[in-house]
Amino acid sequence: MQTTLTSKGRVTLPSAVRRRLRLEAGDHLLVTIQDDDTIILKRPPSVGGAALRGLLARPKPALTVEEMDAGVAVHLGAKYRPGGKS
């Protein structure tokens, strides 16, 4: 099979290749160039959900209504205290 490089540096993979590899628009490919100028295209390894576990910190427990009210009271008390900015 043969393909052509466009002026924008794009290469179209023949439809037989796309069908065999089940490639779709938007799929990513890794490009490797060997010493003998051989070009290798591979799919990047898929990242499953298990690989992402622990990546983010555990969420803090939600505040109670009383804790939210206390926080608002502290903020408003500091904002509107006598002699302070308003």
Assigned token pair, 68: 């939210």
Q: What's the pLDDT score for residue 56?
A: 87
Catalogue all structural domains in the chain, each as residue range(s) with its CATH number. 10-44 (2.10.260.10)
pTM beyond 0.85: no
Cβ atoms of 40 and 34 closer than 8 Å: yes
22 close to 38: Cβ distance less than 8 angstroms: no
Q: Are 42 and 30 in contact (CB under 8 A)?
A: yes
Per-residue pLDDT, 86: 52
pLDDT of residue 7: 95
pLDDT digits 0-9 by tens, 34-68: 999 999 999 888 777 777 788 888 889 999 999 99
- Is pLDDT at 10 greater than 80 in this prediction? yes
User: Residue with structure tokens 């590899």?
Assistant: 21
Of 16 and 49, the structure prediction assigns the larger pLDDT to 16
Mean pLDDT of the chain: 88
